[in-house]
Amino acid sequence: MFSLPCFLCVGTTWMQEILPLILSGGDPASVETLPNWDRVPWLEETRASSLKLEERPSPRLFTTHFHYNMMPPSFFQVKPKVVYVMRNPKDVFTSSFHYYNITSFLVKPGSQSEFLQKFLTGKVIFGSWFDHVKGWLNAKEELQIMYISYEEMIKDLNDSVSRIAQFLGKSLEPDVLKKIADKCLFKNMKNNPMSNYSVVPQEFMDQTKTQFLRKGVAGDWRNLLTPEEAQHFDAVFKEKMKDVNYKFNWD
């Protein structure tokens, strides 16, 4: 079972909180005893090989930023359930810009205009947002994929948690689903040291500049992009996604 986020955004961290709680029937220990990168490990990180994942009971959770065409052959043989999270790319850009500025292991983004050009041309970690989304939206029909947006979860987290649980085949009582949604509210995740990256040494992630979990809102790009930059972004989006037959749930 996979949680497939779209690039650097709190949607990734959100799924690393929601899915363990659903599978554990709402047990808070599932998100309070392990940091999120160990409870839902990354396929692209070597750390996963040291976690003895084969000893974990099925279903196991993984997350990745891999493009669809980068997934290993075993993925297509097993056909696990996939939760693919999408987010307004202008907010992905905004989140990434702040994230790049607090990490020591990524190239500094440069000026906002420089980073915008890099983002729109795919010269950033994990490559093009447009190619990533198009690849997963065009995934083979026999795969079990649930597409959900960050904006949908903000609008109605209770409903989103309920739909995710249903997709995973996990039958939970309404009060349990409500408790899971409450536990996964941004303010609560921000206070969970196993989720807010506060245990990461400052030499790798300097949260004195800005917190990893910053705002947890939709539309923050309006506080960063100029009207001209936003217009240019929209033009690139329109051109890059012109052949995509999917209704995105954001403004």
Angle between helices 227-240 and 112-120 (to 10 degrees): 10
Given a cut of 70, whether residue 208 has pLDDT beyond it is no
Sheet holding 62-63, edge to edge: 62-63, 2-4, 81-86, 144-149
- 189 — pLDDT class (breaks 50, 70, 90): confident
Do strands 62-63 and 81-86 pair parallel, antiparallel, or not at all (unpaired)? unpaired
| CA torsion through residues 225, 230, 236, 240, sign | positive
Give CA–CA dist 149/194, Å, rounded: 24
Helix/strand/coil for 2: strand
Ordered structural domains, the chain, with CATH? 2-240 (3.40.50.300)
Does 65 participate in catalysis according to the annotation?
yes
Given a cut of 70, whether residue 202 has pLDDT beyond it is no
Beta bridge partners of 62: 2
According to the model, what pLDDT value does residue 59 have?
Answer: 87
Beta bridge partners of 82: 2, 145
Span of 109-123, 157-171, 208-222, 233-247 with lowest mean pLDDT:
208-222
Q: Which two tokens stand for residue 187?
A: 């303010």
The most confident of the ranges 162-176, 191-205, 219-233 is: 162-176
**Residue 73 CA, distance from chain mean position:** 23
- 211 — pLDDT class (breaks 50, 70, 90): low
Torsion of CA 199, 203, 209, 211, to 10 degrees: -20
